[in-house]
Structure 1
Amino acid sequence: MFSPGRLARFTGFLHPFENQQGDGYQLVNSYVAIGNGGILGMGLGQGIQKTGYLPELHTDFIMAIIAEELGFWGVLLVLGLLFFIIFKGLKTAIKCRDPFGALLAIGISVMMAVQVFVNLGAVTGLLPITGVTLPFISFGGSSLTLLMLAAGILTNVSMFNTYTQTYKSQSMEQAYIRNV
């Protein structure tokens, strides 16, 4: 249950500065990248940590590079776009009259929200590094494929809900006109 590799993730997460060249290496360099970015960032393409200090930056730790290059405002922009997608999914679920479609929209939206939370928790050191990608941003074929499929299903639920509401309202209006 507690192999040395799994235990190392927790020790690296709890005390990253005790073993900066070992278990805490990636998290410490993530802190450095976030700290270098500040409010406005170093400029697009001007980050230092991506030149070999932060390994596998294009997968789990892409938000640290975004924070370094685009700063606090760039992180807010990316998070705003992700939360806009999540919010629209939850709004679709609330408006949906079909219980299955509503549950599907809630499930997809919550899946994306949890993925954002776990990834940001790992990048900032609030959670252990687990390998969860940032939706639509991180490199990862299977993750991106699953998220695109889920976004397509969410769009289909939204479109079907809009279509049925429009169709039913038109037929009710036409029936009213015929009866009058």
Structure 2
Amino acid sequence: MSTPTLSRTLLSGSPEETHRLGLRLGQLLQPGDFVGLVGDLGAGKTHLVRGVAEGAGVSRSEVASPTFAIVYPYRGRLPLYHADLYRLADYDELYATGFLDLVGGDGAVLVEWLDRIPEAAPREFLRITLRDAGEESRELVAEAWGARPAELLEAWLPANR
């Protein structure tokens, strides 16, 4: 993989803070945006996803884990497609789900476990890696590949934050 256009690292001190970070990101999403999430079980991906969905105007009660459905569509101020690649073996299996038809479409795409099938990401995307930083703290490393993802990252986590 090439070098990211822009990257930012920050520390979230609690699940609530991770949720708030997701909320802010969700408010900034536009159709065509692709956000991939990477992190071990319990790293905070679900807290971030729930915040992103809420920020995109999705009712909190609608947000579920798509682990068994692979892709779960949400309707908010824009369509948000939440995918979970944990159970998929490879790109061919992902292709068979129809997931690739959603990329670059009418909504934003949020993918958990992107590291399992990295080729699922388009050329331009935002990747957020979450790591346990002790207790309830999490380190978030956000990396943007391309102009729009860099713009999104800069709006979400400005350098002078």
Report the TM range for the smaller structure's normalisation: under 0.3
TM-score, normalised via structure 2 length: 0.25
Q: More strand per residue: 1 or 2? A: 2
TM-score, normalised via structure 1 length: 0.23
Q: More helix per residue: 1 or 2? A: 1
